[in-house]
Amino acid sequence: MLMADTSLENIIVDKKDGIAYITLNRPKVLNALNAATVAELTVAFEDVQSDDSIKGVIITGGGDKAFIAGADISEIATVSPTESVQMTRNGQTLMSLIEGLGKPVIAAVNGLALGGGCETAMACTIRIASEHAKFGQPEVKLGVIPGFGGTQRLPRLIGKGRALQLILSGAMIDANEAYRVGLVNEVVPAADLISRAEAILHQMLSNAPLALRYAMEAVNAGYESGQAEGLQLESTLFAVCASTGDKAEGTSAFLQKRAPNFQGK
Protein backbone atom coordinates (compact mmCIF):
# COMPACT_ATOMS: atom_id res chain seq x y z
CA MET A 1 0.00 0.00 0.00
CA LEU A 2 1.27 3.46 -0.87
CA MET A 3 2.04 5.49 2.23
CA ALA A 4 1.59 9.21 2.83
CA ASP A 5 4.22 11.36 1.14
CA THR A 6 5.31 8.45 -1.04
CA SER A 7 7.25 9.90 -3.96
CA LEU A 8 7.29 7.98 -7.23
CA GLU A 9 9.15 8.86 -10.39
CA ASN A 10 6.31 10.64 -12.15
CA ILE A 11 3.70 11.37 -9.49
CA ILE A 12 3.54 12.28 -5.81
CA VAL A 13 0.94 10.69 -3.54
CA ASP A 14 0.19 12.28 -0.18
CA LYS A 15 -2.50 10.94 2.15
CA LYS A 16 -3.82 13.29 4.80
CA ASP A 17 -7.02 13.42 6.85
CA GLY A 18 -8.87 10.94 4.66
CA ILE A 19 -7.89 12.59 1.37
CA ALA A 20 -5.36 11.33 -1.17
CA TYR A 21 -3.57 14.16 -2.98
CA ILE A 22 -2.18 12.94 -6.29
CA THR A 23 0.17 15.37 -8.03
CA LEU A 24 1.63 14.90 -11.50
CA ASN A 25 5.36 15.49 -11.05
CA ARG A 26 6.83 16.07 -14.52
CA PRO A 27 6.80 19.88 -14.66
CA LYS A 28 9.70 20.06 -17.14
CA VAL A 29 7.47 18.40 -19.77
CA LEU A 30 4.29 20.06 -18.49
CA ASN A 31 3.23 16.83 -16.75
CA ALA A 32 2.76 15.00 -20.05
CA LEU A 33 1.33 11.50 -19.79
CA ASN A 34 3.80 8.87 -20.89
CA ALA A 35 3.28 5.13 -20.44
CA ALA A 36 5.14 5.09 -17.13
CA THR A 37 2.99 7.89 -15.72
CA VAL A 38 -0.22 6.15 -16.78
CA ALA A 39 1.03 3.00 -15.04
CA GLU A 40 1.90 4.89 -11.84
CA LEU A 41 -1.46 6.64 -11.80
CA THR A 42 -3.22 3.31 -12.23
CA VAL A 43 -1.33 1.85 -9.26
CA ALA A 44 -2.09 4.95 -7.17
CA PHE A 45 -5.83 4.92 -7.88
CA GLU A 46 -6.05 1.16 -7.31
CA ASP A 47 -4.39 1.73 -3.95
CA VAL A 48 -6.81 4.54 -3.09
CA GLN A 49 -9.76 2.38 -4.07
CA SER A 50 -8.70 -0.37 -1.66
CA ASP A 51 -7.66 1.93 1.19
CA ASP A 52 -10.63 2.31 3.53
CA SER A 53 -8.96 5.24 5.31
CA ILE A 54 -9.16 7.33 2.11
CA LYS A 55 -12.56 8.83 1.39
CA GLY A 56 -11.78 11.10 -1.59
CA VAL A 57 -9.09 12.30 -3.98
CA ILE A 58 -7.75 15.60 -5.30
CA ILE A 59 -5.59 15.34 -8.42
CA THR A 60 -3.57 18.29 -9.70
CA GLY A 61 -0.43 19.15 -11.64
CA GLY A 62 3.00 20.01 -10.28
CA GLY A 63 4.40 23.41 -11.19
CA ASP A 64 2.35 26.43 -12.15
CA LYS A 65 1.87 25.89 -15.88
CA ALA A 66 0.09 22.60 -16.43
CA PHE A 67 -2.38 20.14 -14.99
CA ILE A 68 -1.50 17.63 -17.71
CA ALA A 69 -0.51 19.11 -21.06
CA GLY A 70 -1.34 15.94 -22.98
CA ALA A 71 0.28 12.70 -23.96
CA ASP A 72 4.03 12.37 -24.43
CA ILE A 73 4.46 13.25 -28.11
CA SER A 74 7.78 11.40 -28.34
CA GLU A 75 5.94 8.17 -27.54
CA ILE A 76 3.13 8.85 -29.99
CA ALA A 77 5.64 9.60 -32.73
CA THR A 78 7.20 6.14 -32.56
CA VAL A 79 4.27 3.93 -31.52
CA SER A 80 3.18 1.20 -33.94
CA PRO A 81 -0.49 0.50 -34.71
CA THR A 82 -0.40 -2.59 -32.52
CA GLU A 83 1.31 -0.75 -29.67
CA SER A 84 -1.14 2.13 -30.00
CA VAL A 85 -4.05 -0.20 -29.24
CA GLN A 86 -2.43 -1.21 -25.96
CA MET A 87 -1.50 2.41 -25.19
CA THR A 88 -5.06 3.65 -25.61
CA ARG A 89 -6.50 0.67 -23.74
CA ASN A 90 -4.18 1.38 -20.80
CA GLY A 91 -5.27 5.02 -20.78
CA GLN A 92 -8.94 4.13 -21.07
CA THR A 93 -8.58 1.63 -18.22
CA LEU A 94 -7.10 4.36 -16.02
CA MET A 95 -9.89 6.79 -16.88
CA SER A 96 -12.56 4.18 -16.17
CA LEU A 97 -10.87 3.43 -12.85
CA ILE A 98 -10.97 7.11 -11.88
CA GLU A 99 -14.58 7.50 -12.99
CA GLY A 100 -15.75 4.35 -11.22
CA LEU A 101 -13.56 4.67 -8.14
CA GLY A 102 -16.53 4.73 -5.77
CA LYS A 103 -15.01 7.75 -4.02
CA PRO A 104 -15.25 11.39 -5.16
CA VAL A 105 -12.32 12.56 -7.26
CA ILE A 106 -11.84 16.29 -7.82
CA ALA A 107 -9.64 17.54 -10.62
CA ALA A 108 -7.94 20.74 -9.47
CA VAL A 109 -6.94 22.02 -12.90
CA ASN A 110 -4.10 24.48 -12.36
CA GLY A 111 -3.01 25.09 -15.96
CA LEU A 112 -3.00 23.36 -19.32
CA ALA A 113 -5.38 20.39 -19.56
CA LEU A 114 -4.92 19.23 -23.12
CA GLY A 115 -5.44 15.86 -24.79
CA GLY A 116 -4.93 13.21 -22.12
CA GLY A 117 -5.02 15.97 -19.51
CA CYS A 118 -8.50 17.05 -20.53
CA GLU A 119 -9.51 13.39 -20.65
CA THR A 120 -8.16 12.83 -17.12
CA ALA A 121 -10.10 15.82 -15.83
CA MET A 122 -13.28 14.59 -17.53
CA ALA A 123 -12.96 11.19 -15.85
CA CYS A 124 -13.00 12.89 -12.42
CA THR A 125 -16.19 13.40 -10.47
CA ILE A 126 -16.02 17.19 -10.85
CA ARG A 127 -13.55 19.75 -12.17
CA ILE A 128 -12.41 22.95 -10.46
CA ALA A 129 -10.25 25.21 -12.63
CA SER A 130 -7.92 28.04 -11.82
CA GLU A 131 -8.44 31.23 -13.78
CA HIS A 132 -5.33 30.39 -15.84
CA ALA A 133 -6.46 26.90 -16.90
CA LYS A 134 -6.94 25.99 -20.56
CA PHE A 135 -8.65 22.96 -22.05
CA GLY A 136 -8.62 21.22 -25.40
CA GLN A 137 -8.37 18.03 -27.44
CA PRO A 138 -5.70 18.92 -30.01
CA GLU A 139 -4.97 15.36 -31.21
CA VAL A 140 -6.11 16.03 -34.80
CA LYS A 141 -3.16 18.41 -35.12
CA LEU A 142 -0.93 15.34 -34.70
CA GLY A 143 -2.84 13.19 -37.16
CA VAL A 144 -4.63 11.13 -34.50
CA ILE A 145 -7.82 11.37 -32.42
CA PRO A 146 -8.43 11.44 -28.66
CA GLY A 147 -7.67 7.97 -27.34
CA PHE A 148 -8.27 8.05 -23.59
CA GLY A 149 -12.03 8.57 -23.76
CA GLY A 150 -12.24 12.11 -25.11
CA THR A 151 -14.55 11.24 -28.01
CA GLN A 152 -17.01 9.73 -25.54
CA ARG A 153 -16.88 11.83 -22.38
CA LEU A 154 -16.65 15.27 -23.97
CA PRO A 155 -19.98 15.00 -25.87
CA ARG A 156 -21.64 13.69 -22.72
CA LEU A 157 -20.39 16.69 -20.74
CA ILE A 158 -20.88 19.58 -23.17
CA GLY A 159 -23.05 18.21 -25.97
CA LYS A 160 -22.25 16.69 -29.36
CA GLY A 161 -21.99 19.92 -31.34
CA ARG A 162 -19.63 21.73 -28.98
CA ALA A 163 -17.56 18.58 -28.51
CA LEU A 164 -17.14 18.08 -32.24
CA GLN A 165 -16.12 21.70 -32.67
CA LEU A 166 -13.38 21.32 -30.05
CA ILE A 167 -12.19 17.92 -31.26
CA LEU A 168 -12.21 18.74 -34.98
CA SER A 169 -10.64 22.18 -34.61
CA GLY A 170 -8.08 21.15 -32.00
CA ALA A 171 -8.68 24.56 -30.43
CA MET A 172 -8.03 25.50 -26.81
CA ILE A 173 -10.60 27.22 -24.61
CA ASP A 174 -9.94 29.17 -21.44
CA ALA A 175 -11.36 28.43 -18.01
CA ASN A 176 -14.30 30.83 -18.33
CA GLU A 177 -15.38 29.31 -21.64
CA ALA A 178 -14.97 25.83 -20.16
CA TYR A 179 -17.29 26.89 -17.35
CA ARG A 180 -19.79 28.39 -19.78
CA VAL A 181 -20.09 25.18 -21.78
CA GLY A 182 -20.23 22.96 -18.70
CA LEU A 183 -16.81 21.37 -18.89
CA VAL A 184 -15.82 22.67 -15.44
CA ASN A 185 -17.91 23.20 -12.32
CA GLU A 186 -16.17 26.30 -10.98
CA VAL A 187 -13.41 28.76 -11.82
CA VAL A 188 -11.43 30.15 -8.89
CA PRO A 189 -8.26 32.22 -8.36
CA ALA A 190 -5.14 30.07 -8.61
CA ALA A 191 -4.25 30.72 -4.98
CA ASP A 192 -7.61 29.28 -3.88
CA LEU A 193 -7.67 26.21 -6.12
CA ILE A 194 -6.68 23.49 -3.66
CA SER A 195 -8.51 25.01 -0.70
CA ARG A 196 -11.71 25.24 -2.75
CA ALA A 197 -11.30 21.64 -3.93
CA GLU A 198 -10.83 20.60 -0.30
CA ALA A 199 -13.92 22.53 0.78
CA ILE A 200 -16.08 20.86 -1.86
CA LEU A 201 -14.67 17.44 -1.05
CA HIS A 202 -15.21 17.88 2.69
CA GLN A 203 -18.82 18.87 1.99
CA MET A 204 -19.30 15.65 0.03
CA LEU A 205 -17.50 13.52 2.61
CA SER A 206 -19.71 14.77 5.44
CA ASN A 207 -22.39 12.55 3.93
CA ALA A 208 -22.82 8.77 4.08
CA PRO A 209 -19.94 7.04 2.23
CA LEU A 210 -22.09 4.23 0.85
CA ALA A 211 -24.69 6.70 -0.35
CA LEU A 212 -21.97 8.64 -2.17
CA ARG A 213 -20.69 5.47 -3.83
CA TYR A 214 -24.13 4.31 -4.95
CA ALA A 215 -25.20 7.77 -6.10
CA MET A 216 -22.13 7.99 -8.34
CA GLU A 217 -22.76 4.47 -9.62
CA ALA A 218 -26.37 5.29 -10.43
CA VAL A 219 -25.45 8.48 -12.27
CA ASN A 220 -22.58 6.91 -14.23
CA ALA A 221 -24.38 3.71 -15.16
CA GLY A 222 -27.66 5.46 -15.91
CA TYR A 223 -25.90 7.98 -18.13
CA GLU A 224 -24.62 5.14 -20.29
CA SER A 225 -28.01 3.41 -20.56
CA GLY A 226 -31.58 4.49 -21.17
CA GLN A 227 -33.67 6.27 -18.55
CA ALA A 228 -35.76 3.18 -17.84
CA GLU A 229 -32.68 1.11 -17.04
CA GLY A 230 -31.27 3.97 -15.00
CA LEU A 231 -34.43 4.25 -12.94
CA GLN A 232 -34.41 0.53 -12.27
CA LEU A 233 -30.81 0.73 -11.05
CA GLU A 234 -31.65 3.78 -8.94
CA SER A 235 -34.44 1.86 -7.22
CA THR A 236 -32.18 -1.12 -6.59
CA LEU A 237 -29.38 0.99 -5.14
CA PHE A 238 -31.86 2.97 -3.02
CA ALA A 239 -32.95 -0.36 -1.53
CA VAL A 240 -29.33 -1.31 -0.87
CA CYS A 241 -28.82 2.00 0.96
CA ALA A 242 -32.00 1.40 2.95
CA SER A 243 -30.45 -1.77 4.39
CA THR A 244 -27.37 0.00 5.78
CA GLY A 245 -26.49 1.25 9.21
CA ASP A 246 -25.73 4.63 7.65
CA LYS A 247 -29.37 4.97 6.60
CA ALA A 248 -30.51 4.18 10.14
CA GLU A 249 -27.98 6.64 11.54
CA GLY A 250 -28.80 9.37 9.04
CA THR A 251 -32.55 9.24 9.57
CA SER A 252 -32.17 8.98 13.37
CA ALA A 253 -29.80 11.93 13.46
CA PHE A 254 -32.20 14.03 11.39
CA LEU A 255 -35.16 13.22 13.64
CA GLN A 256 -33.09 13.81 16.77
CA LYS A 257 -31.71 17.07 15.38
CA ARG A 258 -28.07 16.09 15.74
CA ALA A 259 -25.12 15.57 13.43
CA PRO A 260 -24.88 12.05 11.98
CA ASN A 261 -21.95 9.75 12.68
CA PHE A 262 -21.66 7.68 9.51
CA GLN A 263 -19.58 4.50 9.57
CA GLY A 264 -19.78 3.47 5.93
CA LYS A 265 -21.69 0.30 6.83
Residues classed as catalytic: 119, 139
In degrees and rounded to multiples of 5, residue 36 shows phi and psi of -65, -40
Task: Please name the helix (run of DSSP H) or strand (run of DSSP E) that holds residue 24, with its range, or none.
Answer: strand 19-24
Sheet holding 126-130, edge to edge: 6-7, 11-16, 19-24, 56-61, 105-109, 126-130, 186-188
CA pair distance 89, 147, nearest whole angstrom: 8
Whose CA is closest to 104, among 191, 27, 204?
Answer: 204
Coil, strand or helix at 110: coil
Q: 161: number of CA atoms within 13 Å, CB side?
A: 1
